[in-house]
Structure 1
Amino acid sequence: MKMTDFEFQIENFMIYCSSKNLSKKTMKAYEQTLKLFGSYMQEKFSVEEVEKIQTGHIRQYIKYLRERGKYTTTSNQKSIEINKPHNRKDYKKEISDSTINNYIRNIKVFFNWLYEENEIRKNPTEKIQKIKTKRKMKETISEEAFKALLRTFDTTTFHGYRNHIITKLLLDSGMRIGECLSLTVENIDIKNKVILVENTKGKNQRYVYFSLRMGENLRRWMQYKDRYVETNFLFPTNKGTQLTINSYETQLRKAGEKIDIKIHPHQLRNNFSKYYLLNGGDFFTLSRILGHSSVKVTEEAYMDLTPEEINKKYQKHSPLNKWRL
């Protein structure tokens, strides 16, 4: 079957993305978004050439997504027959503005690239703006809830002990779960309480740090692990292979259900960041620890402190409290 111009340009763009060594997750998001958009353009407007796409087409697509809901678009009719999206509980449920903004961003990246490559004379995404979204407060896990969560792990078993230590380390260091699970023993410097993170989102190595108490926890874990598994991974399965993100996420979610809280690995990273700021840390240092591309990204992510948290931070740093006048 002959490729359309749009399909050819997507292939061309994905080759470019591969040459830039983008992560598989990012590339998958780009390709899925563009194929869905291309399918919509073909079916709705019979447009198959990138040059013919106008700003109005993209606005119509955004409107379509907001009205139609989840799993109502597909780039392949066969996938509907196989996956039967209409059987899903969330079929046609409203797509969040954040998700639509991700689609907009991916489409903009594609057309910016086409324009820079002189494949199109005018960039149809130039005036396309993201949807204004309401900031969602990041939930803070209390000390009591975190202690209760840790108690749900059966530390007499290999996987229970491992998950206990992973959960502690994520809160103590602010690492992403993917970064944590790809660590090897060589990445850990117990003496200086520092970890070299190599498998990062931005492909740049960075250092993260852990507390004295966490250091003792890691030392004991490594001694335990080495008694039962021969592997270089810091947090392996009991067969010595690398623990997957999905596996840990599932086990963490089940642990949370036991104490009636919803918990996800990224919440531990968020809580590290919020407590770091509440305890007097600064945005610049936090940005370096988290591996963000800029301080602005960090500020935008963690400016949503509650009034109670701001008050607590204020009381800690008030000049009168400090000076005891």
Structure 2
Amino acid sequence: MLYCTSKNLSSKTIKAYEQTVKLFLRYLYHEHNIDEIEEVKTSHIRNYVKYLQERGKYTDTIKIKNNKYINNPENRNDYGKQISETTINNYLRNIKVFFSFLQEERIIRVNPCNRIKYLKTKRKMKETISQEEFRTLLRGFDLTKYTGYRDYIITIILLDTGMRIGECLSLTTEDIDIKNKVILISKNVKGNKERYVYLSFKMASELRKWINYKDRYIESYLLFPTNRNTFLKVGNFEKNLKKVGNSVGISIHPHQLRNQFAKQYLLNGGDLYTLSRILGHSSVKITEQAYLDLTTEDIKKKYCRHSPLSKWNIIS
């Protein structure tokens, strides 16, 4: 953990590493009576994957209270359900990082993860929101109230820029350059890599109105503070958005807006490299894996716009 901190990894990443490694080490001790890392073999890791596949969700979670481990996940709706291949692969990825660290530090000579491969995962379509659904959603916000107007602006800026919700809520007024229609993302950034996202003319105009409105009521360096001038938490905004969506009969989550931005960017002729930069992905491959899952109807529409025969207009 000290090594992760020295690399300036985000607190979320460090927490994921620590949770994963603690669970794995506890498994080794209870199932194989192993408490020395040099004793870990490739077979132990393969058995751990099998163990994860067979047990249900949250049946072996770690929580700490008064310096004691406790396990009280029964209140979750998905308690006991099968763990997805994607989640298991995330565990494996963290375990691989752990053993690579051990090898680099010469704590172990042979890395037992070298021959461990990730599970094959089923491709899932990204959840998006249609134009009509989005129009209906916007009608659900009460723009006469501070919180309603604020959440309305957050919602449309997520769709316009493709930002992550955590990045959006961390913005300050100093991060915004409305004149040049650009936003600097430098706080709460995945991978700690700052980047720029861009505003449309309409969004720049709406954002200018919001800032003028906010400044009349609250003196805050935050772009989207609560009405008590505190930081708006991601969970609270998600609850607000869900409530608005339910009021108009739409199931909505902030990440659907990011997915829709990426989808429309590609359908409108945008390239993967630029999209990857805007989304803040570490590589174009990640963007390709995440967003090249257009539906048949999407592909048909894009084809019709780019068909050579239609473009050339050579048949009367």
Interval of TM-score (by shorter of Structure 1 and Structure 2): over 0.9
State the distance in 2 between where 1:176 and 1:77 align: 30
State the distance in 1 between where 2:252 and 2:145 align: 22
2:242 aligns to what?
Answer: 253
Q: Residue 57 of structure 2 contacts residue 83 of structure 2 at CA under 8 Å; is this kept in 1? A: yes
1:197 aligns to what?
Answer: 185
Note closer, same or farther for the CA distance 1:279–1:61 as it changes in structure 2 (3 Å cut).
Answer: same
Q: Residue 185 of structure 2 contacts residue 195 of structure 2 at CA under 8 Å; is this kept in 1? A: yes
CA shift for structure 1 position 259: 2.7
State the distance in 2 between where 1:21 and 1:180 align: 21
1:306 aligns to what?
Answer: 295
* SS of residue matched to 1:224: helix
CA shift for structure 1 position 81: 8.6
* SS of residue matched to 2:207: helix
* SS of residue matched to 2:190: coil
* SS of residue matched to 1:202: helix
* SS of residue matched to 1:85: coil
In structure 1, the gaps of 5 or more residues are 1-13
1:82-93 matched pairs, under 5 angstroms: 84-93=72-81
2:106 aligns to what?
Answer: 118
State the distance in 2 between where 1:89 and 1:214 align: 38
2:47 aligns to what?
Answer: 60
Greater relative CO, 1 or 2 (CA 8 Å, sep 6+) = 2
- Tell me the percent identity: 62
Is 1:281 the counterpart of 2:260? The answer is: no
1:1-325 matched pairs, under 5 angstroms: 14-75=1-62, 84-199=72-187, 200-325=189-314
Give the partner amino acid of 1:17. Answer: C
Structure richer in helix, relative to its length = 1
Q: Residue 249 of structure 1 contacts residue 264 of structure 1 at CA under 8 Å; is this kept in 2? A: yes
CA shift for structure 1 position 85: 2.5
Note closer, same or farther for the CA distance 1:88–1:215 as it changes in structure 2 (3 Å cut).
Answer: closer
State the distance in 2 between where 1:263 and 1:89 align: 19
- Give per-residue Cα distances to partners, 1:166-219, cap 9 Å, x unaligned: 000000000111111111111111111111111221212211001101111001
State the distance in 2 between where 1:302 and 1:178 align: 20
State the distance in 2 between where 1:239 and 1:29 align: 31
- Give per-residue Cα distances to partners, 1:249-278, cap 9 Å, x unaligned: 111122222233322111111110000000
Note closer, same or farther for the CA distance 1:74–1:141 as it changes in structure 2 (3 Å cut).
Answer: closer
Q: Residue 39 of structure 1 contacts residue 74 of structure 1 at CA under 8 Å; is this kept in 2? A: no
State the distance in 1 between where 2:163 and 2:63 align: 37
CA shift for structure 1 position 237: 0.5
Give the partner amino acid of 2:203. Answer: M
Q: Residue 63 of structure 2 contacts residue 71 of structure 2 at CA under 8 Å; is this kept in 1? A: no
Q: Residue 39 of structure 1 contacts residue 75 of structure 1 at CA under 8 Å; is this kept in 2? A: no
State the distance in 2 between where 1:177 and 1:61 align: 34
Note closer, same or farther for the CA distance 1:77–1:179 as it changes in structure 2 (3 Å cut).
Answer: closer
| Root-mean-square deviation over aligned CA pairs | 1.7
State the distance in 2 between where 1:216 and 1:71 align: 46
Q: Residue 183 of structure 1 contacts residue 235 of structure 1 at CA under 8 Å; is this kept in 2? A: yes
What is the number of equivalent residue pairs in this alignment?
312
State the distance in 1 between where 2:180 and 2:64 align: 56
- Give per-residue Cα distances to partners, 1:83-129, cap 9 Å, x unaligned: 53245432211111111111011101100111111111111111111
Q: Residue 256 of structure 1 contacts residue 263 of structure 1 at CA under 8 Å; is this kept in 2? A: yes
